[in-house]
């Protein structure tokens, strides 16, 4: 499939004001550090890693909620023309905001309790001048129906709905503008396990029906395994491994991926091993002069070279290909 988005050398740096790291250090954090990534049209690409690894920041850069410090975000429009989202002004971004949409994490806090479902879902249509009059209502009804909700309920307020239904409303709001690319950050994490797989199935059905491309950000590997075609594993601002989902789960190539897979609780305690826990370590620290591999302080395979030289290519491990790493299957 052709690319819909190429992330090239993307870097996002934040300089902390007083408060972020205490008064004295106005530290700089490089949340995303020189990331290259391709998103193919029609696929679901997973971004996985622990909190603080930069996956949310990368997603927010793609949505242009952040203006990247450096690098390019080359988006291919339906007519084949390419634009660099990173270089566009607010005004230039406007028409693209309907094509690239997000589903928020927590349906409880992302839906305005004082607005009816109709107003909530209609908002992006109205803000972007995509429809007016009775067409708005028709399109809202259609989006709700697609998401498995009865359009008759659109006069109600969010509190009248369950958590799963509220997330369906959130998805309807994302889809009402007929986007091509949807960035979903922890879109099912706030939901009960029983509701989670229903929402994941809905996302899959909508993708088939509408030809959507998803960038799906999650720390939850079982969700990633369920939904994604390919996965990029992030660690301290870097992508350390990129693989087809099945390959990653069966044969991880980076020790961090292996550690992540092992840290998934296994249902059967007899299968647990003593090393089934990710070694503790600092994450999301202010910029240090990194020398060597960023995972080295936590890596059980580290050799002398690892502390001195950072692996230059993905998978970012000097020993990639030499190590026999374990994968673990999980299912939801
Ligand atoms: Fe571990 Fe070294 Fe590979 Fe880094 S380069 S992941 S420290 S073995």
Q: What is the pLDDT of residues 261-319, one digit of tens each?
A: 887 665 555 555 555 556 665 554 556 667 899 999 999 999 999 999 999 999 999 99
DSSP string, 22-35: -SS---EEEEEEEE
pLDDT (0 to 100) of residue 283 = 55
pLDDT (0 to 100) of residue 105 = 82
- Show which of 127, 146, 178 is a domain's final residue: 178
Range of the structural domain that residue 215 is part of: 1-99+179-332
Q: 68 and 11 in contact (C-beta within 8 Å)?
A: yes
- Show which of 116, 150, 178 is a domain's final residue: 178
Give the mean model confidence (pLDDT) for residues 79-99.
96
Nearest protein CA to atom 8 of ligand 1, as residue:
302
Atom of ligand 1 nearest to the CA of 294: 4
Cα(325) to ligand 1 centroid in Å equals 12
Cβ–ligand 1 contact at 238 (below 6 Å): no
Does residue 277 share a domain with residue 212?
A: yes
Does residue 292 share a domain with residue 166?
A: no
Residue 90 has pLDDT above 90, yes or no: yes
Cβ–ligand 1 contact at 236 (below 6 Å): no
pLDDT (0 to 100) of residue 109 = 81
Q: 212 and 4 in contact (C-beta within 8 Å)?
A: no
Cβ–ligand 1 contact at 10 (below 6 Å): no
Question: In percent, how much of the chain has pLDDT > 70?
Answer: 87
Neighbours of 30 (CB within 10 A): 19
Lowest mean pLDDT among 81-90, 136-145, 234-243, 287-296: 287-296
Give the mean model confidence (pLDDT) for residues 204-226.
95
Cα(293) to ligand 1 centroid in Å equals 6
Does residue 45 share a domain with residue 115?
A: no
CATH code of the domain in which 11 resides:
3.40.50.300
Cα(196) to ligand 1 centroid in Å equals 35
**Separation between Cα atoms, residue 154 and residue 144, nearest integer Å:** 8
Does residue 140 share a domain with residue 252?
A: no
pLDDT (0 to 100) of residue 330 = 59
With the most atoms of ligand 1 within 8 angstroms of its CB, the residue from 317, 320, 322, 324 to mutate is: 317
- ipTM score over 0.90, yes or no: yes
Rounded (10°) CA dihedral 246, 247, 250, 255:
-130
Atom of ligand 1 nearest to the CA of 254: 6
Stated pTM of the model: 0.91
Strand-pairing partners, residue 210, are: none
- Show which of 178, 196, 223 is a domain's final residue: 178
Residue with token string 């530290």 = 27
Does residue 184 share a domain with residue 36?
A: yes
Cβ–ligand 1 contact at 136 (below 6 Å): no
- Tally of domains in the chain: 2
Does residue 94 share a domain with residue 28?
A: yes
pLDDT (0 to 100) of residue 107 = 75
184 CB-near residues (< 8 Å, 6+ apart):
102, 103, 203, 214, 215, 216, 217
Does residue 285 share a domain with residue 171?
A: no
Cβ–ligand 1 contact at 306 (below 6 Å): yes
Q: Is the dihedral of CA 290, 291, 295, 299 positive or negative?
A: negative
Give the mean model confidence (pLDDT) for residues 30-42.
96
**Separation between Cα atoms, residue 262 and residue 164, nearest integer Å:** 29
Q: Which residue has the higher pLDDT, 77 or 28?
A: 77
Cβ–ligand 1 contact at 216 (below 6 Å): no
Does residue 184 share a domain with residue 164?
A: no
Atom of ligand 1 nearest to the CA of 299: 1
pLDDT (0 to 100) of residue 280 = 60
* Residue-averaged pLDDT of the chain: 89
Q: Which residue has the higher pLDDT, 21 or 203?
A: 203
Does residue 111 share a domain with residue 252?
A: no
pLDDT (0 to 100) of residue 24 = 59
Cα(38) to ligand 1 centroid in Å equals 24
Does residue 216 share a domain with residue 172?
A: no
**Separation between Cα atoms, residue 50 and residue 44, nearest integer Å:** 19
Give the mean model confidence (pLDDT) for residues 27-54.
93
152-200 pLDDT tens trace: 999 999 999 999 999 999 999 999 999 999 999 999 988 988 899 999 9
Does residue 208 share a domain with residue 174?
A: no
Does residue 94 share a domain with residue 26?
A: yes
pLDDT (0 to 100) of residue 17 = 60
Report residue 253's pLDDT band, with 50, 70 and 90 as the boundaries: very high
């Amino acid at each position: 499939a052709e690319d819909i988005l190429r992330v090239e050398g993307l870097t996002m740096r934040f300089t902390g004001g007083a408060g972020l790291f205490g008064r004295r250090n106005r530290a700089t954090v490089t949340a995303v550090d020189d990331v290259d990534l391709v998103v193919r049209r029609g696929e679901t690409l997973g971004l996985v890693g622990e909190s603080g690894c930069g996956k949310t920041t990368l997603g927010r850069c793609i949505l242009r909620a952040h203006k990247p410090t450096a690098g390019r975000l080359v988006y291919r429009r339906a007519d084949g023309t390419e634009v660099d989202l990173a270089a566009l002004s607010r005004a230039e971004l406007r028409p693209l905001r309907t094509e690239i949409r997000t589903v928020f994490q927590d349906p409880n806090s992302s839906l305005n309790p004082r607005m009816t479902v109709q107003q909530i879902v209609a908002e992006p249509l109205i803000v972007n001048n995509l429809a007016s009059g009775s067409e708005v209502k028709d399109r809202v009804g259609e989006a709700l129906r697609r998401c498995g909700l009865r359009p008759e309920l659109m006069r109600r307020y969010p509190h009248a709905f369950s958590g799963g239904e509220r997330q369906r409303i959130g998805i309807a709001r994302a889809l009402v503008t007929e986007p091509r690319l949807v960035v979903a950050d922890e879109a099912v994490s706030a939901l009960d396990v029983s509701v989670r797989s229903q929402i994941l199935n809905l996302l899959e059905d909508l993708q088939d029906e509408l030809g959507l491309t998803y960038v799906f950000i999650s720390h939850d590997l079982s969700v990633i395994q369920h939904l994604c075609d390919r996965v990029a594993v992030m660690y301290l601002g870097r992508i350390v491994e990129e693989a087809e989902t099945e390959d990653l789960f069966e044969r991880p190539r980076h020790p961090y991926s292996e550690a992540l897979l092992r840290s998934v609780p296994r249902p059967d305690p007899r299968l647990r091993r003593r090393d089934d826990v990710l070694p503790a370590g600092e994450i999301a620290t202010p910029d240090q002069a990194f020398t060597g591999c960023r995972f080295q302080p936590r890596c059980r395979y580290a050799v002398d070279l690892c502390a001195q030289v950072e692996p230059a290519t993905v998978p970012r491990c000097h020993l990639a290909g030499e190590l026999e790493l374990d994968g673990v299957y999980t299912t939801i």
